[in-house]
Structure 1
Amino acid sequence: MPPVLPPLLPDRPRRLALLDPHPVLRLGVEVLLHQHSGVHVRGSYANEDDLVELLQREPGCVDLLVIDALPLGDLGDGLQLLRGLSRRWPSLPILVLSAHCNASTVATTMQAGARGFLSKATTPEMLLRAVDVVARGGRFVPPELRTQLNRSRARRMSAPSLTPLSRREREVLRLVLQGCSTGEVARRFQRSASTISTQKKAAYQKLGIRSDVELFRIRHLLECG
């Protein structure tokens, strides 16, 4: 038997558009949502261009986007997509359904414009609850992720202030966050690769990090992204 799911508030059907590169996952979400008269799946897409075409062609045709932004490219590309959608359609709420679930990813995603965040391992009940909350204009993060976020905020508040980065160090990190290699950064600024590597290492030491992965995790704390 299918799971017993909580009904959505039936003031009118929620019109959704789905964006995810994985067809099986999209189909599963569609089947789940079609079980409820309070939800209408207006479109289901594998790439962002088709979704944007729908929104341009029929403004106001959907009440909520459910998207998997991050795997459409690297982390920077996913955040760029979120920011672009939020900037062009600021009144259209976005719920991110992602396999990347930790406090840093959730915080960065919400700052980029998402109104809600769920793990792809979530229960059907939680997905429907999130759809209802976000479609009504609220924000939704499941309880276990809220706990992680609160702990992460507490750690940041108790951490010492970061040593200020120099202008050149910020320039280097800005390009690293855009996906440039050390050699590409060196060619861009017409400096030697060793100079760029030294500046990058100095910046990482000031930030208390040791890898590009850690840099992406704290990009929302920087002004060079």
Structure 2
Amino acid sequence: MKSLAKGLPARPNEAIVFVVDDDVSVRESLELLIGDAGWQAEMFESAQEFLSRPRVFVPNCLVLDVRLPGLNGLELQRRVAVERPDMPIIFITGYGDVPMSVQAMKAGAVEFLTKPFSDNDILSAIQGAMERSGAALRLEAEMNALRNRYALLSRREREVMRLIVRGVLNKQVAHELGISEITVKAHRGQVMRKMSVTSFAELVNIAAKLDLSR
């Protein structure tokens, strides 16, 4: 296992691979392999034990056995999709069948590997899952930043922003809101400053991300 991992590119050591499998030999071998590849590894023997682990905000993924005592892998997948949406899932199983794999993939799994799988196959799946998780976390951080900026706007500034991003002219905004055109321009300037944009196109793009058309 070490020889396979040594030739792989460096990975951020804060990234975490969670493994849920009730077979201790599988957990031990995966823990060694994942560690040699440069990721942190956390092992769990049941879905319930894993769910007690708080959500993390670093790139991460879940290597999950389908058949588990108590809450099974597919049931855990449904929980994860709601509670930890940035966490991609790689299924592993010794008893997989086509309907089971189709169900898992339709529900968003990034890979479905049947035991015994090669080290390269699981490492490649983990790498892809980490890239997906990192992208999801970056998007979440971006959206949180945009929502925080939008929260700084006054009620009137939000009204002005909603109208101007729809292409309504300053004069028309003034008429609709019952204020002067000069006041509209002042509010518009405040909106641009608080939203940290330098162009109208940027503001329109942010409004689309925040879905201000509702």
Aligned-partner SS, 1:71: coil
Q: Distance in 2 between matches of 1:92 and 1:20?
A: 17
Q: CA deviation at 1:32?
A: 1.5
In structure 2, the partner of 1:70 is 67
Q: Is 2:77 the counterpart of 1:95?
A: no
CA distances 1:6-46 after superposition (whole Å, capped 9, x unpaired):
74443513311111111111001111122222x111x2111
Q: CA deviation at 1:104?
A: 2.1
Q: Which runs of 5+ in 1 are unaligned?
A: 139-225
Confirm or deny: 8 A CA contact 1:100 1:119 kept in the other structure: yes
Alignment of 1:125-204 (within 5 A): 125-137=120-132
In structure 2, the partner of 1:48 is 47
Confirm or deny: 8 A CA contact 2:88 2:132 kept in the other structure: yes
Q: Distance in 1 between matches of 2:70 and 2:50?
A: 16
Identity over aligned pairs, percent:
20
Flag the 1:10–1:2 CA change in 2: closer, same or farther, 3 A.
closer
Q: Distance in 2 between matches of 1:8 and 1:123?
A: 15
Q: Distance in 2 between matches of 1:102 and 1:7?
A: 33
CA distances 1:115-147 after superposition (whole Å, capped 9, x unpaired):
221112111111111110121119xxxxxxxxx
The CA RMSD over aligned residues, in Å, is 2.5
Q: Distance in 2 between matches of 1:133 and 1:27?
A: 22
Confirm or deny: 8 A CA contact 1:17 1:62 kept in the other structure: no
Q: Is 2:23 the counterpart of 1:26?
A: no
Report the residue type matching 1:92 in the other structure: M
Aligned-partner SS, 2:86: coil
Flag the 1:63–1:78 CA change in 2: closer, same or farther, 3 A.
closer
Q: Distance in 2 between matches of 1:18 and 1:129?
A: 15
In structure 1, the partner of 2:160 is none
Q: Structure 1 residues 60-69 or 125-134, which shifts more? A: 60-69
In structure 1, the partner of 2:17 is 16
Q: Structure 1 residues 23-32 or 97-106, which shifts more? A: 97-106
Aligned-partner SS, 2:40: strand
Flag the 1:9–1:55 CA change in 2: closer, same or farther, 3 A.
farther
Q: CA deviation at 1:5?
A: 4.1
Q: CA deviation at 1:89?
A: 0.8
Q: CA deviation at 1:2?
A: 5.3
Aligned-partner SS, 2:90: strand
Aligned-partner SS, 2:29: helix
Q: Distance in 2 between matches of 1:21 and 1:29?
A: 13
1:107 to 97, 102, 107: 102
In structure 1, the partner of 2:36 is 35
Q: TM-score, normalised by structure 2?
A: 0.54
Flag the 1:55–1:111 CA change in 2: closer, same or farther, 3 A.
farther
Q: CA deviation at 1:108?
A: 0.9
